[in-house]
Structure 1
Amino acid sequence: MEKEPKNPGSPEAEGDAPAPSGAAPACAGASEGTGLLREVKQEVKAQVFHNTGYLRLDWFTLFWLFVAGCVIGLAVETVFHAIVYGGLESRAGLVWGPFSPIYGVGAVVLTLFLNRFYHSHNLVIFLVAMVVGSVLEYVTSWGMEFFWGAVAWNYSGTFGSINGRTNFAFGMMWGLLGLVWVRVALPAVKQAFSHVNAQNAAVRAVTVLMTAFLAADIAVTVLALDREGQRAQGVPATTWEQRFLDEHFPDSFLQARMQNMSVYGKG
Structure 2
Amino acid sequence: MKNKTESADGCKITFYTLVWSFLLGSFFGYCIETAVYFYKRGYFVNRQGVIYGPFSEIYGFGLIVVLLCLYKIRNKKGYIIFLASMAVGTLFEYASSVYLEKVAGYASWNYSSYPFDFQGRIDLVVSVGWGVFGVLFIKYAYPFTCKILNRMNKGLYKVLLWLFFVFMVFDLTLSGLAVDRMGKRGSGVPAGNKIDRFLDEHYPDERLKEIFTSVKFIK
Do both share a fold (TM > 0.5)?
Answer: yes
Shift of 1:159: 4.8
Shift of 1:208: 2.5
Is 1:181 the equivalent of 2:137? yes
Letter in 1 for 2:65: V
Distance 2:8 2:185 in 1: 48
Secondary structure, counterpart of 2:31 in structure 1: helix
Q: Note closer, same or farther for the CA distance 1:103–1:244 as it changes in structure 2 (3 Å cut).
A: same
Unaligned runs of 5+ in 2: none
Secondary structure, counterpart of 1:194 in structure 2: helix
Residue correspondence of structure 1 range 144-223 to structure 2 within 5 A: 144-156=100-112, 158-198=114-154, 200=155, 202-223=156-177
Shift of 1:160: 4.5
Shift of 1:150: 1.7
Q: Which residue of 1 aligns with 2:7?
A: 52
Identity among equivalent positions (%) equals: 31
Is 1:95 the equivalent of 2:51? yes
Q: Which residue of 1 aligns with 2:39?
A: 83
Q: Tell which has more relative contact order, 1 or 2 (C-alpha 8 A, sep 6+).
A: 2
8 Å Cα contact 1:154-1:165 kept in structure 2: yes
Distance 1:226 1:113 in 2: 31
Deviations 1:4-59 (A, max 9, x none): xxxxxxxxxxxxxxxxxxxxxxxxxxxxxxxxxxxxxxxxx9xx943236531111
Query: RMSD between aligned alpha carbons?
Result: 2.2
Distance 2:70 2:37 in 1: 27
Between Structure 1 and Structure 2, the one with more helix by share is 2
Distance 1:53 1:225 in 2: 44
Distance 1:167 1:72 in 2: 20
Unaligned runs of 5+ in 1: 1-44
Deviations 1:127-185 (A, max 9, x none): 11011110111122112212332222222365553322112222122112212222332
Shift of 1:214: 1.2
Q: Which residue of 2 aligns with 1:27?
A: none
Q: Which residue of 1 aligns with 2:181?
A: 227
Q: Which residue of 2 aligns with 1:74?
A: 30
Distance 2:54 2:209 in 1: 16
Distance 1:176 1:212 in 2: 30
Q: Note closer, same or farther for the CA distance 1:172–1:203 as it changes in structure 2 (3 Å cut).
A: closer
Deviations 1:76-98 (A, max 9, x none): 21112111332111100111111
Distance 1:240 1:227 in 2: 12
Given the two structures, how large is their TM-score scaled by the length of structure 1? Answer: 0.74
Residue correspondence of structure 1 range 3-152 to structure 2 within 5 A: 49-52=4-7, 55-152=11-108
Q: Which residue of 2 aligns with 1:242?
A: 196
Bigger radius of gyration = 1
Is 1:254 the equivalent of 2:204? no
Q: Tell me the matched-pair count.
A: 218
Given the two structures, how large is their TM-score scaled by the length of structure 2? Answer: 0.90
8 Å Cα contact 2:86-2:127 kept in structure 1: yes
Distance 2:143 2:66 in 1: 14
Q: Note closer, same or farther for the CA distance 1:94–1:159 as it changes in structure 2 (3 Å cut).
A: same
Distance 2:99 2:47 in 1: 18
8 Å Cα contact 2:17-2:146 kept in structure 1: no
- Spell out structure 1 runs of 4+ moving beyond 6 A: none
